[in-house]
Amino acid sequence: MNLDKKISMAVIRRLPRYYRYLSDLLKLGITRISSKELSSRMGITASQIRQDLNCFGGFGQQGYGYNVEYLYKEIGNILGVNEAFKIIIIGAGNMGQALANYTNFEKRGFKLIGIFDINPNLIGKKIRDVEIMHLDSLDRFVAENQVDIAILCVPYENTPAVADKVARLGVKGLWNFSPMDLKLPYDVIIENVHLSDSLMVLGYRLNEMRKSQRNKS
Amino acid sequence: MNLDKKISMAVIRRLPRYYRYLSDLLKLGITRISSKELSSRMGITASQIRQDLNCFGGFGQQGYGYNVEYLYKEIGNILGVNEAFKIIIIGAGNMGQALANYTNFEKRGFKLIGIFDINPNLIGKKIRDVEIMHLDSLDRFVAENQVDIAILCVPYENTPAVADKVARLGVKGLWNFSPMDLKLPYDVIIENVHLSDSLMVLGYRLNEMRKSQRNKS
CATH number at residue A41: 1.10.10.10
DSSP state for residue B126 in the 8-state scheme: E
Say if residue B133 carries a ligand binding annotation: no
Same domain for B71 and B114, yes or no, is: no
Q: Do A191 and B202 touch (CB under 8 A)?
A: yes
* Tens of pLDDT, residue by residue, chain A (217 residues): 444 467 888 999 999 999 999 999 999 999 999 989 999 999 999 999 999 988 888 777 777 889 999 999 999 999 988 888 999 999 999 999 999 998 888 888 899 999 999 999 999 999 999 999 999 999 999 999 999 999 999 999 999 999 999 999 999 999 999 999 999 988 999 999 999 999 999 999 999 999 888 887 7
- Distance of residue B200 Cα from the nearest chain A Cα, in angstroms: 6
CB contact under 8 A, B94 and A80: no
Q: Which residues in chain A have their CB less than 8 angstroms from residue B44's CB?
A: none
Is residue A168, in this structure, part of any structural domain at all? yes
Residues A89, A189, single domain; the answer is: yes
| Residues belonging to chain B | 217
| 8 Å CB contact of B209 and A203 | no
The reported pLDDT for the residue numbered A2 is 44
| Domain shared by A68 and A98, yes or no | no
Residue of chain A minimizing CA distance to B174: A202
Of the candidates A17, A109, A195, the beta carbon closest to that of B197 is on: A17
* B16 and B66 inside one domain: yes
Return d(Cα B98, Cα B92) in angstroms, integer: 9
Of B97, B200, B207, the CB nearest to A16: B200
Q: Let me know whether B112 and B49 are in one domain.
A: no
The 3-class secondary structure across chain A, one letter per residue, is: CCCCCCCCHHHHHHHHHHHHHHHHHHHCCCCEECHHHHHHHHCCCHHHHHHHHHCCCCCCECCCEEEHHHHHHHHHHHHCCCCCEEEEEECCCHHHHHHHCCCHHHHCCEEEEEEEECCCCCCCCEECCEEEEEHHHHHHHHHHCCCCEEEECCCHHHHHHHHHHHHHCCCCEEEECCCCCCCCCCCCEEEECCHHHHHHHHHHHHHHHHHHHHHHC
pLDDT value of residue A74: 93
**Contact across the interface for B95 and A108, Cβ inside 8 Å:** no
Determine whether the annotation assigns residue B170 to a binding site: no
Asked whether residue A115 falls in the same domain as residue A132, the answer is yes
Last residue of a domain, one of B50, B78, B106: B78
Residues 65-84 of A with CB under 8 A from B: 78-81, 83
In a domain, A216, yes or no: no
* C-beta of residue B189 within 8 angstroms of C-beta of residue A205: yes
> What pLDDT sits at residue A176?
97
- A65 and A94 assigned to the same domain: no
Task: Check residue B213 and give its pLDDT.
Answer: 86
Neighbours of B110 (CB within 10 A): 25
Residues B99, B184 share a domain? yes
Contact A203 B105 (CB under 8 A): no
Query: Would the CB atoms of A198 and B191 count as touching at under 8 Å?
Result: yes
**Which pLDDT score is estimated for A5?**
61
Q: Is B164 exposed, middle or buried (0-12, 13-18, 19+ CB in 10 A)?
A: middle
- State the pLDDT at residue B5: 60
Q: Are A149 and A85 in contact (CB under 8 A)?
A: yes
CA separation for the pair B65, A172 (Å, rounded): 38
CATH at residue A94 = 3.40.50.720
Interface ipTM: 0.92
Q: Are B192 and B213 in contact (CB under 8 A)?
A: no
* Residue B1 contacts A, CB cutoff 8 Å: no
Asked if B206's CB is within 8 angstroms of A172's CB, the reply is: yes
Compare all CA atoms of chain B with the CA of A153 and give the residue at the minimum distance: B98
In a domain, A102, yes or no: yes
Residues 6+ apart with CB under 8 A from A149: A85, A86, A87, A88, A110, A171, A172, A173, A174, A175, B199, B202, B203, B206
Of B19, B180, B206, the CB nearest to A173: B206
> Contact, B194 vs B200, CB < 8 A?
no
Q: Confirm whether A106 is domain-assigned.
A: yes
Shared domain check, B90 and B70: no
**pLDDT tens-digit map of A62-74:** 778 899 999 999 9
Name the domain count of chain B. 2
Q: Which of B95, B156, B200 to mutate to test the interface with A (most CBs of A within 10 A)?
A: B200
pLDDT at A1: 46
- B95-104: buried (b, 16+ CB within 10 Å) or exposed (e) per residue? bbbbbbebee
Range of A164's domain? 85-196
Of A95, A110, A209, the CB nearest to B187: A209
Q: Are residues B95 and B61 both part of a single domain?
A: no
pLDDT at B184: 92
Query: Are residue B114 and residue B15 in the same domain, yes or no?
Result: no
> Is B155 in CB contact (< 8 Å) with chain A?
no
Per-residue pLDDT, A64: 81
pLDDT of res. A147: 98
For residue B103, give the H/E element and its range: none
A206 at interface of B, judged by CB pairs closer than 8 A: yes
A117 with A157, same domain?
Answer: yes
CB contact under 8 A, B198 and A207: no
State which H helix or E strand residue B158 sits in: none
* Chain B residues within an 8 Å CB radius of A148: 203, 206
Which residues make beta-bridge pairs with B175?
B151, B191
Q: Which residues of chain B have pLDDT under 50?
A: 1-4
User: Left (φ > 0), alpha (ψ -120 to 50) or beta: where does B137 sit?
Assistant: alpha
Q: Given this model, what pLDDT does residue B212 score? A: 87
AA identity, residue B167: A
